[in-house]
Amino acid sequence: MATVDKIRSGLIDKILTIRNKEFLMALDNLISSSSTDNEIVQLTTAQKEMLEMSELDIQNGRLISQEAMDKRNLEWLNGM
């Protein structure tokens, strides 16, 4: 995992333990005011290929509803 991902994961873990409402509100304001909206995310070749495969699935009607997927997941979990 890249350093940025490790930092992000660590911060998420720490935030989940905070119970101080004022502190969380201040943190939210700080994060909301950051300029991450202008950051361009670079996709890997594998990510681009997955997106292209997804587009082909959509074009060819290879879709499944969320409800059907939830049912499959429950069946799979019950079979464990």
> What pLDDT score was predicted for residue 59?
95
> What pLDDT score was predicted for residue 35?
58
> What pLDDT score was predicted for residue 72?
93
For the chain (length 80 residues), average pLDDT per consecutive 10?
Answer: 84 93 91 71 93 96 94 92
> What pLDDT score was predicted for residue 63?
94
Distances (CA, A) of 3 to 10, 32, 61, 76: 11, 22, 39, 34
Is the distance from CB of 63 to CB of 57 less than 8 angstroms? Answer: yes
> What pLDDT score was predicted for residue 80?
85
Which residue, chain included where needed, has tokens 């996709």? 43
> What pLDDT score was predicted for residue 15?
94
